[in-house]
Amino acid sequence: MIFAAGFGTRLANLVKDDPKPLIKVGKTTLLDHALDVTREAGITNIVVNAHYLAHRIVDHLASHSTAKVIIEEPDILDTGGGLLNALPHLGTNPVYTLNSDNYWFGQNPLSLLADYWNEQEMDALLVLGTRKNTFGYQGKGDFVIDSGGNLTRRSNQDSGLVYLGAQLISPSVISSEFGRVFSLNVIWDRLIHNKRIKGLIYDGKWAVIDTPYGIETIRKIL
């Protein structure tokens, strides 16, 4: 599943006529980059959610993509709610999720997830990176990882590894008990408590494009 429903509010006028996933960086849009990553990993069942200017995403994909678009209406459902809403189209096997405002330089993150997935040990596996290998990112990181790959949240004082917008997750942990609109973070927190979430460290570079600074940074790199 490719998440493409957000408003992109920090991009202001840059998303006045097109949603953030249709912003061009280099020769392609962010959404097309995410689709390329997905197809390179051999994945054929692709779902894209849409909300803000959803018709533009539908039109963009209609001519050159087999991806199925699910429009979230009347409300945007956040990442957890969006994934729950899409589950009927994704099947019962573990699901890859990918953020459409991220850009990866290096090994395919989804292929990497497939190499490390072990359903006996985990219900979610996240791709993480060090802050020094990120572009356009201005936070302090998200998680701490131990020698066994288990994740915990970083403390308020310390820096952590950055979630790079790619994961593999079991649909069995996506539940309507969290409501209709909810973040994947509530699921991750439960999995942390149950020691059923792990991470792997990406050795390539990564960029997030959610501000004008991020767009300019990625364009210079490309």
Which pLDDT tens digit goes with each residue over 47-97?
Answer: 999 999 999 999 999 977 789 999 999 999 999 999 999 999 998 999 999
- CATH code linked to domain 2-221: 3.90.550.10
Residue 99: partners with Cβ closer than 8 Å, 6 or more residues away: 2, 3, 34, 165, 166
More confident residue, 17 or 80: 80
The per-residue pLDDT for 220 is 87
Q: What pLDDT, in 10s, does the model give residues 156-213?
A: 777 899 999 999 999 999 999 999 999 999 999 999 999 999 999 999 999 999 888 8
Q: How does the average pLDDT of the chain come out, rounded?
A: 94
How far are the Cα atoms of 28, 81, 106, 178, 212 from residue 182, in angstroms, in the given order? 31, 5, 31, 7, 27
CA distance 158 to 25: 32
CA distance 124 to 96: 10
The per-residue pLDDT for 51 is 97
More confident residue, 206 or 14: 206
The structural domains of the chain, with segments of one domain joined by +, span: 2-221
pTM for this predicted structure: 0.95
**Cβ proximity of 11 and 212 under 8 Å:** yes
